[in-house]
Each structure stands twice: as C-alpha cells, then as structure tokens.
Amino acid sequence: MHLFCSPAFISFVAMPSFGQMTKTTIIYIAAVAFVLGVLVFVHEFGHYAVAKLCGVRVEVFSLGFGKRLWGFRRGDTDYRLSLLPVGGYVKMSGENPMEDRTGDPGEFMSHPRWQRFLIAIAGPAMNILLAICILTGLYMFHHDFEAYLRAPVDLVTVLPNSPAEKAGLQKGDRIIKVADVQNPTWQQFRNMEFISPNQPLDLTIQRGDQILNKTVIPNVKEPDKIGEMGVEHPQVVGSLEPDGPALAAGIQVNDVIESVDGKIVHDIPQMLEQLQASKDQPIHLTVLRDRKEVSLNLTPRVMQGKYRVGLRADLAEKLPFRAALAQSTKECEENSMLIFKLVGGMLRKKIPMESVSGPIGIMKISGEAAMIGPAPLFYIMAMISLNLAIFNLFPIPILDGGLILLLLIESVMRRDIKQEIKERIYQAAFVFLLLFAAVVIFNDVAKSFHHM
C-alpha cells in the first residue's frame, strides 16, 4: 500500500455550509480519486514496463487493493480494478520472498540483481518524472504564484512577543541565510520555518551595514505542528493593470506595500476593504522600494465592479520550455531535500508526527485545490507524486527502497540473504507500516476535527 508524507504547507479553507456539503464532498472525492488514480497508475506502470522489458512474468496489474471488481486478462497478466482505491500493485511471478522458487526464467528472483534493481526503482523514477513534467507544463502555459514567494526575506512586520521579536529580529532586517540556505526566498524561508517547531533555527541577517547571527526557536502552530516564529510576509506587487491608478502614480512591480493612509497593510484583501470604505477619495500609499520608503498619492476608481487601484499580489508567467524544465527540476530537488529533512527531524524526535499528512489529508488538500481550479490541482498532484516517489525510496522492506537496500546488501555479500531471514524482515516491516498508517490516519482525523 502506498502512503504519502507531506509537509503541511497548504492553508485550510473555511468549512462549507450544509447546503454546499454534498457538492463539496463530491468534488473532494473526485479530486482525490483522480490524483491517486493517476499517480498509482504511473508508479505501477513503471514497475510493469521494466519488468516486461526484462522478461519477468507479470501476473496482476491492479489499481486498488482487495476484491477484484472489474478487469480483463491479456497474455499472462490480469489487469484489474479492485475494491479499495487507496493504492495499487503489480504482482510479478516469484516476487514474494515467502514463496518457493521454481527456477522458472519468468520469475522475478530468476533474474540478475541489476534487473531487479531497475524494476524496483522504475516506480519512484516514473513519479519523479511525472512531477517534473506536470510542473514544466504548468510553467510553460500558465503559472500563477504570489510574488512574495520569490522575493528576498525582507522583514516588514515582526509580531509583538513572538519568537522572532524575542530573538532580536526587527523591521527592515533582511535574512540572508536560514540554516544552510544562502540568500533564501520567502518560500525557502517558510519551508525551513515550518519544519523547525520548537527547534533552534540559525539565521544570518543584514541590518544596514551590519551582519548579525541570530537563533530563533519557532513556536508550534496547531493543529499541524508546524513552526511559526512570528514574521508576516510582505505584500509584494506582482503585476499592474496597464490603465490603473497604481501604474499612473508610479508604483512598480516588486514594490512592497507598507501602509494605506498610515494603516499597516497585512494583506491585499484588507487593503481592498479599506478602498471600498474610502471609495474614490484620494489615498496616501507608502511602499518599500529597494528597502527604502516611497510615498505616493493616488485615487482609486471602479474596476471590475469594485474600487481598486490596479495592482495584484500574484504574478502569472509563461516560460519557454528550457526555462520551465529548469525551474520544475529545481523545485522538485528543493522539495525532495525538504522531505528528507522532515523525515530526519521525525526520526530524531525533533518534528512531531502530526506534520505528516495521510490519505485523509491528501483528500482535503486535493479537494481544496480542485475547488480553486485545475492548475492548483495539477500542482498538488506534482507535489504528491514527488512525495510518493521519495517515500517509496525509504529503505523499508515491502517498499521499493527496502528491496533496493536488500539487493545492494546481497551484491556486497555476493549471495542471497537466507529465505527465513527475509521472511522475518518483511513481516516486521509489514507491522511497522500498518502502525505508521494507523498513526497518520489518526492524525488526519484529529486535525480534521480541529478545523471543524
């Protein structure tokens, strides 16, 4: 069975009203069925295709577990849909170490270790390739993101009595290093913050001409047990309407909106509310440009049915193929390293298990993305595909990584591990995965109740 581990980076939307519940539930179920169906198919197809190329007899290709609901047989393989849609599997002849070997050349164990290694790694490799392909497609055709995510970490708001304030961080500081990440963007900074609840996080900051080293211990934010140090991200201008008041007044892309009529702007929706109240009265806007304050006067006007000034905090981009491929590969690499850091923190008992999302969490995240639109859903699919690949590469028997580890050990030993030992290893691993699944699902349920 495939489980999914994912840093809890997705914000939660408000619970739907009773009248919306049925429609929302259908969308959530359809979204998770689509996401898991595609990811499991791609993963298992990787195993299946390489096994066929190597001459291994594939007996079953199943989407889902349990009772066979529908399918057909072609050659040696039974292609089926099964009752429990929580994963899938490919059953190869002689694959189970607890089965007796007959020496049939079509059996998995009759093939050399290098072929068995390729078969084992093909599933995770296909999921990684799928993640890269999805992100590349998104970046080539249409990709919306909040502009601040790629901006340098300039602190605009440090919350009172927060870990950040207690550590001595101030408005105007620029974080030029977080842990081992040099010149981080807000996205990289947030990622490191989230996986460091109650753990010292080393920062290097630039304050004017000074370079200072600080250590912050983020609080634990419920219910996901992620780290939170008490700094708000800036409202960075991502794009400007060509005929809007903001452009005419001299506002530029990458400006940071600091205040409207002396009131600090914490988010763009709050600013829009202020504009609806003041209507077409002139406003005084203060922005930060290259970390220096710039004052501007402008008059809102009705645009798209509301009083606006013609600026957006998000940015839409279309990249050429090579740039899109490079960006998607970089993002997959960074997220892979983040997953390893998350798991490493859990193994050292520095990061709580609540930081991991299981099947219920995956359904919630996929459903929320589907409610927004297809692009967010495909982005979430790419991230889950990457998580699935990394998780399956962990050296736990039953998972692909466990099989790879045993093959490497046998290659060093130059002989097979005894059948009895393999049986005990797989039995222990099966119990471990069942317990892990139970804990993750329990955490999902507990977090769901917390948000009700």
The stretch 41-59 carries a mean pLDDT of 92
pLDDT band at 97 (very low <50, low <70, confident <90, very high): low
Peptide bond just before 16 cis, omega within 30 deg: no
The closest of 268, 264, 272 to 293, measured between CA atoms, is 264
Domain ranges of the chain: 18-142+322-450, 147-231, 235-315
The span from the CA of 216 to the CA of 408, in Å, is: 41
Max mean pLDDT range (97-111, 160-174, 218-232): 160-174
The stretch 372-401 carries a mean pLDDT of 87
The span from the CA of 195 to the CA of 267, in Å, is: 24
Judged by average pLDDT, the poorest of 24-28, 154-158, 282-286, 381-385 is 24-28
410 is catalytic: no
Please provide the average confidence, as pLDDT, over all residues in the chain.
Answer: 83
The closest of 131, 124, 43, 55 to 89, measured between CA atoms, is 43
pLDDT recorded at residue 355: 67
How does pLDDT run across 116-167, given as a tens digit for each residue? 999 999 999 999 999 999 999 999 987 788 889 989 999 988 999 999 999 9
Given the residues 44, 193, 228, 354, select the one marked as catalytic: 44
pLDDT recorded at residue 144: 80
How does pLDDT run across 99-112, given as a tens digit for each residue? 667 778 888 888 89
pLDDT recorded at residue 302: 87
Tell if the pTM clears 0.95, that is, is over it.
no
Give the tokens for residue 358. Answer: 């299981």
CB 311 within 8 A of CB 253: no
Fold of 147-231: Pdz3 Domain (2.30.42)
The span from the CA of 423 to the CA of 355, in Å, is: 32
Q: Is pLDDT above 50 for 10? A: no
CB 246 within 8 A of CB 287: no
pLDDT band at 308 (very low <50, low <70, confident <90, very high): confident
Give the tokens for residue 231. Answer: 């700094």
Asked whether this chain's domains 147-231 and 235-315 adopt the same fold, the reply is: yes
Q: Is pLDDT above 80 for 282? A: yes
pLDDT recorded at residue 261: 85
Q: Which residue has the higher pLDDT, 17 or 287?
A: 287
Q: Return left, alpha or beta for 317; rule: phi > 0 is left, psi -120 to 50 is alpha, else beta.
A: beta
CB 398 within 8 A of CB 426: yes
Q: How far apart are the first and last CA of the chain?
A: 29
The stretch 300-307 carries a mean pLDDT of 85
**Strand runs labelled E in 209-339:** 210-216, 219-221, 226-228, 231-232, 235-236, 239-240, 256-260, 263-264, 283-289, 292-298, 301-303, 306-308, 311-312, 314-317
pLDDT recorded at residue 63: 82
Q: Is pLDDT above 50 for 265? A: yes
How does pLDDT run across 335-351, given as a tens digit for each residue? 888 888 887 777 777 77
Fold of 235-315: Pdz3 Domain (2.30.42)
pLDDT recorded at residue 444: 67
Percent of the chain beyond pLDDT 90? 29
Q: Provide the 8-state DSSP code for 152.
A: B
Other beta carbons less than 10 A from residue 353's beta carbon: 14
